[in-house]
Amino acid sequence: MTRPLRVAMIGHGFMGAAHSVGWRQAPAVFDLPEGVEMAVVVGRNADTVAQAAAHWGWAESATDWRAVIARDDIDIVDIVTPGDSHAEIAIAALEAGKHVLCEKPLANSVQEAERMRDAAERAADAGVKAMVGFTYRRVPAVTLLRDLIAEGVVGTVQQVRAAYRQDWLVDPQTPLAWRLQKEHAGSGALGDIGAHIIDMTQFVTGQQVAAVSGTVETIVTRRPLLDAGSGLAGTAGEGYGEVTVDDAALFTGRLSGGALVSFEATRFATGRKNALTLEVSGDKGALAFDLEDLNSLQFYDRTAPADRRGFTKILVTEAQHPYVAAWWPAGHMLGYEHGFVHQVVDLVQAIHDGTDPHPTFAEGLAVQQVLAAVEESATRDSAWVRIAAPVTAGR
């Protein structure tokens, strides 16, 4: 028997917690082809990263990611840091021969994403794998939605409506966390949650966003500075700082197959905590997904007799549905964290099989190109901007 794949996670916090659940649960629930060990978690503060390691089950903690990447006993590097460090860490890990899982969006700019894509392609020649963490692809209902569209149940895709709405910034006294600073986050709602609905649209339709027209808005332009001792997402301190990213982004897209898409990404949808919705309409039917009801799909069959039409609910908890067989009996629900478990399953399987894990860094670059095009459109009075050489979506 070969030794287990040993994982180093760079960063912790909210995404670190979600990824830790994935690494811990995947080998316990699924029959993985390779063993997995949670070897080390890395953070800037020795005390807080040690607490994270103890809480989430990492064998050790460290504060120097470069030293960890250089270790011979590390096989996979999982990056959950703010976007401004993704490129540096991922490229260094790939050049050190480590498989890489990187949180979305892939980078803070197209140029960084291109460098990461190039590094991944070079590393692939030596069998090293790289994957972007768009975990909503791995919600069973979303994967099923993709499969049903590929089977032709909605016919020709004619229109898509995608929205991701949150309200955690409605309070103007919410502190100036790193997600509100362009130098760390790259963009605001557009990159943070807009990236999800761009990727999901491309994933389920098998098409690329070929052109966009959009606008972005910063609704609260100044916020209280963080208390220096409270961490990246802590309490307010003294003074105010400038918000340098968008709070909301609204844009229209044209898919490579010709269909129109409407996108909304906002942190100012009062009362909406984490509302992601997607509806795909075709000439034979329609499918709709709502993250607040993530164990189901709504399906409209236009080919049914007129007196039997209407949206019907598909409960996505059968053993025949994607990923579900490893979990509970039918009707027993899955939740947010399960997408992170499925992400680990797919990455480990790809490493074992020697295949490309999706989404690849090239697919992450494709999303980055759309984000950049929306920002460009917003500076040109919402003029249409075409996406150069879109990447084919992995399905």
Task: Assign residue 28 a region (left: φ > 0; alpha: ψ between -120 and 50; beta: otherwise).
Answer: alpha
Structure tokens at 159: 């229109």
Mean pLDDT of 263-281: 98
pLDDT, position 391: 55
pLDDT, position 234: 58
C-alpha 365/C-alpha 377 separation (Å) is 18
Q: At residue 107, does pLDDT exceed 50?
A: yes
Structure tokens at 244: 């340098």
- Asked whether the beta carbons of 278 and 204 are under 8 A apart, the reply is yes
CA torsion, points 303, 306, 308, 313, in degrees to nearest 10?
A: 50
Tell the residue number behind the tokens 């993704």, with chain if given. 86
pLDDT, position 93: 98
Mean pLDDT of 47-65: 98
% of the chain beyond a pLDDT of 90: 94
C-alpha 258/C-alpha 60 separation (Å) is 51
- Asked whether the beta carbons of 243 and 221 are under 8 A apart, the reply is yes
C-alpha 104/C-alpha 191 separation (Å) is 8
- Asked whether the beta carbons of 129 and 359 are under 8 A apart, the reply is no
Q: At residue 275, does pLDDT exceed 50?
A: yes
Within 10 angstroms of residue 102's Cβ, the number of other Cβ atoms is 28
Q: At residue 394, does pLDDT exceed 70?
A: no
Mean pLDDT of 268-295: 98
Enter the CATH code of domain 139-386. 3.30.360.10
Global pTM reads 0.95
Q: At residue 172, does pLDDT exceed 80?
A: yes
Q: At residue 263, does pLDDT exceed 70?
A: yes
DSSP 30-98: S--SS-EEEEEEE-SSHHHHHHHHHHHT-SEEES-HHHHHT-TT--EEEE-S-GGGHHHHHHHHHHTT-
Tens-place pLDDT, residues 201-220? 999 999 999 999 999 999 99
| Angle formed at CA 219 by CA 290 and CA 280, multiple of 5 degrees | 25
Structure tokens at 293: 């009801």
Mean pLDDT of 33-39: 97
Looking at residue 155, the DSSP 8-state letter turns out to be -
Higher pLDDT, 392 or 195: 195
Within 10 angstroms of residue 154's Cβ, the number of other Cβ atoms is 23
- CATH fold of 5-135 reads Rossmann fold (3.40.50)
pLDDT, position 245: 97
Domain spans of the chain?
5-135, 139-386
% of the chain beyond a pLDDT of 70: 95
C-alpha 196/C-alpha 182 separation (Å) is 18
Tens-place pLDDT, residues 315-372? 999 999 999 999 999 999 999 999 999 999 999 999 999 999 999 999 999 999 999 9
Q: Mean pLDDT, the chain, as a whole number? A: 95
Beta strands in the chain (DSSP E): 5-10, 36-42, 60-62, 76-79, 99-103, 130-133, 157-165, 209-217, 222-226, 236-242, 248-255, 260-266, 275-282, 285-290, 296-301, 312-315, 385-386
Within 10 angstroms of residue 76's Cβ, the number of other Cβ atoms is 24
Within 10 angstroms of residue 97's Cβ, the number of other Cβ atoms is 14
pLDDT, position 232: 46
Within 10 angstroms of residue 292's Cβ, the number of other Cβ atoms is 10
Within 10 angstroms of residue 204's Cβ, the number of other Cβ atoms is 27
C-alpha 26/C-alpha 135 separation (Å) is 14
Residues near 287 by Cβ (< 8 Å), separated by ≥ 6? 145, 148, 149, 153, 154, 279, 280, 297, 298, 299, 300
- Residue 198's pLDDT band, with cuts at 50, 70 and 90, is very high
C-alpha 127/C-alpha 380 separation (Å) is 43
- Residue 121's pLDDT band, with cuts at 50, 70 and 90, is very high
pLDDT, position 2: 83
Q: How far is CA 173 from the centre of its chain?
A: 28
